[in-house]
Amino acid sequence: MKNIMVVFCGGTFSMIIDKETGGAVPHFHGEELLEKIPEINNLAKISMYEFGMYPGPHMTPERMFELAQKVKEIINRKDIDGVVVTHGTDTLEETAYLLDLVIATEKPIVVIGAMKTSSEPDWDGPQNLTDAIKIINNPNSTGMGVLVCLNGEINAASEVSKTHTEDIETFHSLDFGALGFVDRDKVIFNRAPRKLEKIESKKINSNVDLIKVYAGMDEKFFKFSADSGVEGIVVEALGVGNGV
């Protein structure tokens, strides 16, 4: 059996519905969640590292980079065959992409989350975790970069986007389609990621603004951003850069 480390970051996977407010709130720690899914111990030797109990919006670039350094440390251990990262879905694609950029390894890393809390009858967290373990157990997952798996669909971290706020079937690769899928005990890959890019970095700079261009926009936001002392501006422009 393979040795798999689950790196727990929180998110909806760990939440319950608060009876007073009706909102989803963090509740379960990583070890408590694993105890709720004992069947995964039949698939691999599972260990746990608790990074935190963060809702997705609380994962800042600095926290994402800290997480990346920890996952890099774990995946480079000789006694670890793969890593599953549990994460809030609101920022899951950003974290997964950062992991993909800064961690150079042939070993599989799979990022998962949940769209439903454990208070709901269709809680999807346990199945997503089970699918991630099956992916790591599959030899075809080697050298595929960081993968994202929810609702049985396997996507490359460099290609995937969250497309719906609440739908369980929300993570998709819009340009090229999924890499593959998990069907019960089978992990099926239809293609490899289009591009695997690595960036060596020892720090992350979050003093960068993102400005989205819209029809009729003038230069005031660019001036404000530049005058505020940012060290970089990313522009989401029209077409292929028109209007910049």
Q: Strand, coil or helix: what is 15?
A: strand
| Residues 131/99, Cβ–Cβ less than 8 Å | no
**CA–CA distance, 1 with 42 (Å, rounded to integer):** 9
**CA–CA distance, 10 with 14 (Å, rounded to integer):** 5
| Residues 12/125, Cβ–Cβ less than 8 Å | yes
Which of the following is catalytic: 12, 86, 91, 117?
12
DSSP state of 105: -
CA-to-CA dists, residue 153 to 57, 76, 183, 187, 204, angstroms? 23, 26, 9, 10, 30
**CA–CA distance, 235 with 222 (Å, rounded to integer):** 9
- 100, containing H or E segment: helix 92-102
**CA–CA distance, 113 with 91 (Å, rounded to integer):** 10
Concerning whether 12 is annotated as a catalytic residue, the answer is: yes
Active-site amino acid positions: 12
